[in-house]
C-alpha cells in the first residue's frame, strides 16, 4: 500500500511539476532541459498512416520510433479517441514526456458535414457560420483532435483556381468577417476547453492570386495590392488570437512564402507581433528544391527556418538538416528556441502537459458521433446556403403531388460524394448518408414516379449518355 501511495504522489507531482509558474516560464524551463534534437523534434509533423492529404513517406516504423525518442512534435490525420491515445502513449515514453499535437483538416464540418465554405459564404449569415465551427470543434475535439487547418482566408478572384470552394470568395471585407467568425467558432471559450480546437489561418499569403489560377504557381503583384486585398484577413486573424498560421505553396514576387522573411518575420512576427506558430503546407519546405529555390534539402531547411517556418509538415527535412546547420553555425540556435517555444506554448495552453490524454475520451466521442441536434442545424444551414439562380414557373419547392420527376446528373445516386470536397471520411458513410435520389423519393407522394439518368461522368468528355438524359427529362 505504501508503494501505491508513493506512485500516486509521484504522478500528481509530475502533472504539476511546474507549480504556479507562467506559461512563458514553463516553456523557458523546459527548453533549458531539451537537447538540440528534441527542440527540432517539436518542429516536426508527420501524417498518420491511414488518411493522407498529400504524397506520403511510408516508413511508419521509423516514425513510431522517433515519437518514442521525442523527435516528433505533431501528427496530422490521426483521429479517434483510441488512435490518438495510442500515439500519445508513445510520446509519453520519450525522455521529457512532451505530448503530441493532433491536427486534422476540419474544413466544413467533422462528423456533421456542412455546406462547402463558398456555399456558407453565400448565406451571408455570420452567426450560422460561427455556430457550424462550434459544432465542428466540439465533434473534432471529442475525437481527440487538438488543431484544425482552417479557416482558409485566401481572397480568390480567379474561378479557375480549384481551392475557391474552401474560402469565402472575392471580397476582402466579407472574407475577413467570415474568417473571424470561424476562428471564434473553432476556439470557443479559449484554448484548453474540451470543446475547442486550435484554428489555423491559411494560406499565408496571396495563394488565391496564383497566375492563371494554377495551384502552386507564382504570385506577381505590387506590395500595395498585397496589403490592401490579400493581407487584411490574416492581420485580423492574428489580432483575434488565431492559434496558428499556415504558409502557402506559391512564391510572392519570386520568393516562396515558405521562406519569405518579409511576410513571416517582418510582418507577421514583427510588425503584427504574432505569438502563435507557423506550420508549412504539406511538403512545401522540401518542394523548394524541385521548384528551383533551394539546391538541396539542407538549403531548403536553412531558408525555411530563417524565413519563419516553425513546423515542417511532412517534408522530413528539419530533423535531418537543422541540427547540422546549427552545429555548422549556419542557423542561429535562437531561431530553433523561438520556434520550439512557440509550439510548446500552445501545448501548455491546451492543457496537454497536465493531462496528455484529456481529449481522447471515448464517452465524449460516442456522444458526438450522431448528434441529432447537430444534424438538424446542418440541414437548416444547408437550406440557407442554397443560391437559386432562376425558379421559372415557381417549379420549386416541388409539390408532394407532382406525378413525375426526373433527376439528372452523375451525383444523383451518390452518397459519399455528397460530403463535398475536403470532408472527413467515416467507415459508415454509405449507411448514414442519404442520396439525392432517395431523399427526393422519400418526400414525394407514394403514387409519384421518380426517374433517373446519369447523363455524364464527372470528369471526362464522354457524351454518350446525353440522349438518355434528354429522353428521361422529356418524360417528367
List, by residue number, the catalytic residues: 281
Question: Can you name the residues that pair with 453 across neighbouring β-strands?
Answer: 408
Question: Can you name the residues that pair with 89 across neighbouring β-strands?
Answer: none
3-state secondary structure the chain: CHHHHHHHHHHHHHHCCCCCCCHHHHHHHHHHHCCHHHHHHHCEEEECCCCCCCCCCCCHHHHHHHHHCCCCCEEECCCCHHHHHHHHHHHCCCCCCCCCEEEECCCCECCCECCCHHHHHCCCCHHHHHHHHHHHHHHHHHCCCCEECCCECCCCCCCCCHHHHHCCCCCHHHHHHHHHHHHHHHHCCCCCCCCCCECEEEEECCHHHCHHHCCCCCECCCHHHHHHHHCHHHHHHHHCCCCEEEECCCEECCEEHHHCHHHHHHHHHHHCCCCCEEECCCCCCHHHCCCCCCCCHHHHHHHHHHHCCCEEECCCCHHHHHHHHHHCCCCCHHHHHHHHHHHHHHHHHCCCCCCCCCCCCHHHHHHHHCCHHHHHHHHHHHHHHCCCCCCHHHCCCCCCCCCEEEEECCCCCCCHHHHCCCCCCCCCHHHHCCCHHHHHHHHCCCCCEEEEECCCCCCCCCCCCHHHHHHHHHCC
Spatial distance between the Cα atoms of 88 and 146, rounded to a whole number of angstroms: 12
Cell of 280: 508549412
Spatial distance between the Cα atoms of 56 and 51, rounded to a whole number of angstroms: 10
Amino acid at each position: 500500500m505504501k508503494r501505491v501511495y508513493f506512485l500516486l504522489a509521484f504522478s500528481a507531482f509530475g502533472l504539476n511539476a511546474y507549480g504556479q509558474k507562467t506559461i512563458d516560464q514553463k516553456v523557458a524551463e523546459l527548453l533549458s532541459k531539451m537537447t538540440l534534437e528534441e527542440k527540432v523534434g517539436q518542429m516536426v509533423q508527420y501524417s498518420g498512416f491511414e488518411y493522407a492529404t498529400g504524397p506520403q513517406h511510408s516508413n511508419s516504423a521509423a516514425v513510431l520510433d522517433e515519437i518514442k525518442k521525442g523527435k516528433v512534435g505533431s501528427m496530422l490525420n490521426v483521429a479517434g479517441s483510441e488512435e490518438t491515445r495510442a500515439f500519445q502513449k508513445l510520446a509519453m515514453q520519450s525522455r521529457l514526456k512532451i505530448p503530441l499535437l493532433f491536427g486534422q483538416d476540419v474544413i466544413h464540418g467533422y462528423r456533421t458535414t456542412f455546406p462547402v465554405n463558398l456555399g456558407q459564404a453565400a448565406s451571408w449569415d455570420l452567426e450560422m457560420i460561427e455556430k457550424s465551427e462550434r459544432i465542428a470543434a466540439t465533434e473534432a475535439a471529442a475525437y481527440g483532435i487538438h488543431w484544425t487547418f482552417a479557416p482558409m482566408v485566401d481572397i480568390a478572384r480567379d474561378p479557375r483556381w480549384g481551392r475557391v470552394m474552401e474560402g469565402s470568395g472575392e471580397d476582402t471585407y466579407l472574407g475577413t468577417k467570415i474568417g473571424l467568425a470561424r476562428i471564434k467558432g473553432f476556439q470557443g471559450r479559449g484554448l484548453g476547453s474540451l470543446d475547442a480546437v486550435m484554428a489555423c489561418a491559411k494560406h499565408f499569403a496571396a495563394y488565391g492570386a496564383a497566375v492563371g489560377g494554377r495551384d502552386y504557381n507564382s504570385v506577381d503583384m505590387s506590395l500595395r495590392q498585397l496589403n490592401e486585398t490579400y493581407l487584411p484577413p490574416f492581420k485580423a486573424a492574428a489580432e483575434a488570437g488565431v492559434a496558428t498560421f499556415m504558409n502557402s505553396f506559391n512564391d510572392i514576387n519570386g520568393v516562396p512564402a515558405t521562406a519569405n522573411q518579409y511576410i513571416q518575420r517582418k510582418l507577421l512576427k514583427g510588425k503584427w507581433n504574432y505569438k502563435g506558430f507557423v506550420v508549412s503546407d504539406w511538403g512545401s519546405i522540401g518542394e523548394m528544391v524541385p521548384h528551383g529555390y533551394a539546391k538541396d534539402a539542407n538549403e531548403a531547411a536553412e531558408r525555411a527556418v530563417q524565413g519563419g517556418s516553425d513546423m515542417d509538415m511532412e517534408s522530413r527535412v528539419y530533423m535531418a538538416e537543422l541540427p547540422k546547420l546549427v552545429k555548422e553555425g549556419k542557423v542561429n540556435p535562437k531561431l530553433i528556441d523561438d520556434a520550439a517555444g512557440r509550439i510548446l506554448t500552445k501545448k501548455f495552453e491546451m492543457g496537454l502537459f497536465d493531462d496528455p490524454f484529456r481529449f481522447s475520451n471515448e464517452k465524449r466521442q460516442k456522444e458526438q458521433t450522431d448528434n441529432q441536434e447537430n444534424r438538424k442545424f446542418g440541414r437548416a444551414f444547408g437550406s440557407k446556403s442554397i443560391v437559386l439562380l432562376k425558379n421559372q414557373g415557381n417549379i420549386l419547392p416541388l409539390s408532394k403531388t407532382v406525378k413525375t420527376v426526373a433527376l439528372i446528373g452523375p451525383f444523383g445516386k451518390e452518397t459519399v460524394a455528397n460530403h463535398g470536397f475536403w470532408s472527413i471520411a467515416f467507415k459508415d458513410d454509405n449507411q448514414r448518408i442519404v442520396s439525392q435520389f432517395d431523399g427526393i423519393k422519400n418526400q414525394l407522394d407514394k403514387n409519384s414516379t421518380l426517374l433517373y439518368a446519369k447523363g455524364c461522368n464527372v470528369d471526362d468528355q464522354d457524351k454518350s449518355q446525353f440522349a438518355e438524359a434528354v429522353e428521361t427529362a422529356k418524360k417528367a
